[in-house]
Each structure stands twice: as structure tokens, then as C-alpha cells.
Amino acid sequence: MGITSTIFGCSGLSLTQEERDFFSEVQPWGFILFGRNVDTPQQVTSLVAELKSCVSHDDVPILIDQEGGRVRRLRPPHWEAYPAGEVFGQHYAQDKERGIRFAWLQSRLMACDLLKLGVNVDCLPVLDVPIRGSHDVIGDRAYSDKPAIVTDIGRAACEGLMAGGVLPVIKHIPGHGRAGVDSHKDLPVVTASLDDLEKSDFEPFRALNEMPMAMTAHVIYTEIDKDKPATISKTVINDIIRNYIGFKGLLMCDDLSMHALKGSLERRAEASFEAGCDVVLHCNGNLTEMKPIAAASPKLSGDALKRAEQVANLFANNNACDEAALRKEFRFLCDAKIYGQDPTEAGH
């Protein structure tokens, strides 16, 4: 039957019969959960089991955006109130090792939460390096405006997730930090020189290029390709992401339904594959939109299949931990004051 090069969302807290039939026919590589799919731990666990039962391949990637702060699909009262990424940068500025440890702890505990539900991929870390005046779509999700700090904290976040058997997705490659508009609503155009991009935006991705998965940015970089955003630019993907940055893992696009991309959803999917994406992502759970994307998406084969298999081989890694002790240490750091501000409220 073959596995289709897609990651799809679903519409609610459980699958409709039409969704089950569609997923069984299409055999998407993976699935992604959003807030509309989350109520209680038992409900999420059941939904994940439903999704996995629709496909015949093992080690199905189940993705979620659990960053902390305003981007977290799992929330109190059932899950921890994790802080936003900038908090770790603030701690790092006072004590480097504390900032790194704090970031690792959060990711390690997120992995505990996710794996209990059957979720095995977190779309984290955000490696974007913001500049003054950029749109706050990244904002407090960024660890810092300094590439070296973003790199250190991003690596800690990846390692925390992987220690708990959950795989990271570095995003938004090759960098969303300079975007002047929200790519969910419009197409950002970045005019920075290639030298500036290499010294700042690309650096965290280059330093973490061994990570298993990355998500593209729907951003035009005029010095590289003046017409096409990274997601659909063969030049950006080949010359920058694969060659300069050196990323060899599985490359997925950001959500195809975002307004930064133009044209039909079918054409958006085709353009992403033509540019060099391995897998396309569609998040809103609208089955009417998923059908043309599925029709335009190839079965996994060649290098894309090899990269997907490399991802699957990593799911077995999971180190035991004393979760209660880690949560105690984490909450102690959450209660620490930075610049007179409670870090759990910073950036909200």
C-alpha cells in the first residue's frame, strides 16, 4: 500500500468515521494534535490509539506543539504550566549552567507527559533568532536574540526530549526571527544580506544539524531566492538547508494551510515536494482540504523514506528518570526570580 508523505491533523476529540476511512486509505506517515484534540489524559490517549489504528506501519509519528508559554496544547489542570522559551534565556544571562539545566528539565518533563499519551514527537525547539522590530509571532517563544545562547538552550531542549523517548523538530529552518509579519496570515520577506543571515539566523540550525527532523519557514529571503519562500524554494532547501546548514534529517514543511503560501492546497503540496521537502504538514483537521493534499503527495521512497526510517529507529530510546525529583527541581527554578519578575509569568 505504501506510506503517503503527509502529516495530518483531525477535527476533534475522537475520530469521525469519515476520518478513519480516509486515513486508512491514504496511510499518512504521521499525525499532529492541536488544542481542539485535547481534553483529558485518558481522552488524548484514546485518540492517539485511534489514529495509530488507522495505519499499518509501526512507530507512527504523533506530533504536537508543546513549547511552553502561549504555544502549548497540553495545559493545566491536567498538565504542568510550562513557561515560554525566553525564560531560559533570562536564566542563562544570570547563570549559563542554570539556564541550560532549566531548559533540559522542561523538555525532559514534557517528554514524560507526552510519552504517557503515546505522543512521540514535539515540535520544539524554536531556533529562530529575533531582531528588534520583528513580528511577535516568534516573540517570547525565542530563547534569546543571541545565536550562541539559542544554540545552547536549543540543544538542551533537544537532549531533554530525546532522553525521554520523544523526538525534537528544529524550527523554523533556516530562520523565522527577522519576519516582519505573521506567516500564518501573510508572507514575510527578509532582505538581510547572506552574510548577516549566516552569522545569526542560520547559526543555531547549523550547530544542531544532526537533529532528526526540521520544519521549514514560510519566509522569502531575497538574497537567496527573491520569489519563493523557503518551503517551496529548491535553492533555499538545496543550497542553504542541505548544504550550508548541513541538515541531513527529515525535512517537513510548516503547515500548508497558512496564508503565507498561495495557490491551491494541491499546488502548495506539489511545490513543497518539488523544492525538496520530504513530508508535508497540514494541521487544521479539515478533511475537505486534506483530500487534495493527499492526492498530490507521493508515497515515501528514496532518500525521504530512508530519513523517515532513521526517525522511526530513534523512537526506542528512552532513559528512566525520577520524575518526582525532576519536577521538584523544575518547580524550584520556576519559582526563582529573574530581574524582579516571576519567570512563569514572563512574556505572557
Cα gap 247→8, rounded to integer Å: 24
User: Active-site residue among 95, 184, 335, 342?
Assistant: 184
Residues 84-97 have pLDDT tens digits of 999 999 999 999 99
For residue 203, the one-letter residue type is E
User: Which is more confident, 167 or 259?
Assistant: 167
pLDDT at 342: 42
Q: Among 129-133, 213-217, 269-273, where is mean pLDDT lowest? A: 129-133
pLDDT band at 226 (very low <50, low <70, confident <90, very high): very high
Mean per-residue pLDDT, 264-289: 97
Q: Which domains, from first to last, does the chain contain?
A: 4-335 (3.20.20.300)
The residue annotated as part of the active site, out of 113, 122, 201, 254, is: 254
Residue 201 backbone phi and psi in degrees, to 5: -60, -45
Write down the pLDDT at residue 133.
Answer: 80
Active site residue 57: no
Q: Look up residue 292 and give its three cell numbers.
A: 487534495
pLDDT at 344 exceeding the cut of 90 = no
At residue 135 the predicted structure's pLDDT band, cuts being 50, 70 and 90, is confident
pLDDT tens digit sequence for 292-314: 999 999 999 999 999 999 999 99
**262 or 316: which carries more pLDDT confidence?**
262
Which pLDDT value is given to residue 88? 97
Is 254 an annotated catalytic residue?
yes
CA distance linking residue 222 with residue 255, whole number of Å: 22
